[in-house]
Amino acid sequence: MTEGEKWERGVAAVREVYALLSPLLKSRLKKCAAAIKSCKQVLQLIGEGVHAADICGKCRGECCALGKNHVTAIDLLIYLNDDREIFTPCFAQEICPYLGENGCLMEPEYRPYNCITFICERVEGLLGPLEKERSYAVERDLRDLYRDLEQMLDSRFRHGVLGIFERQQSKQAPQ
């Protein structure tokens, strides 16, 4: 099975489960997602302050070599909860399947935890002490919010989208 097929099946599985969430749980998800997106926007602004996009654009995602596994079911639940169209990755690319011609296919507030929190040495070296501490504090807050959301959803959605189908298959395989 190709990575694209795994992605499609993983997305379909997340859609099915999302449709079954109670209105109360969807409301709680929306509140937590708003806080998550707010933290991600702050981290993006910190990076913009030192022109991180220029550095990232030049290296074309060296840090994203394993990025195909970064998008989790929680990330997709936030998309679905916001009634947004889910993007289509390109797994034929050598580096990150979520990079398009104009950069990341996801807006900063929707990027996976690993992507939005990772700061390479080149970018971190440009941050002043206050920006570094602020980014570390926001990252801790973001980690706590993800943990809260995972607990709210009984930890069913913390895994990468590509692995969802594989885990379902292994559970159904005869022992």
- Residue 157: pLDDT band by 50, 70, 90 thresholds? low
Return the pLDDT at 115: 86
* Spatial distance between the Cα atoms of 158 and 160, rounded to a whole number of angstroms: 7
* Spatial distance between the Cα atoms of 21 and 64, rounded to a whole number of angstroms: 32
Residue 111 neighbours by CB under 8 Å, 6+ apart? 40, 75, 104
What is the number of domains present in the chain?
1
The parent domain of residue 49 ranges over 3-172
Q: Model-level pTM?
A: 0.85
What is the pLDDT averaged over residues 126-147? 94
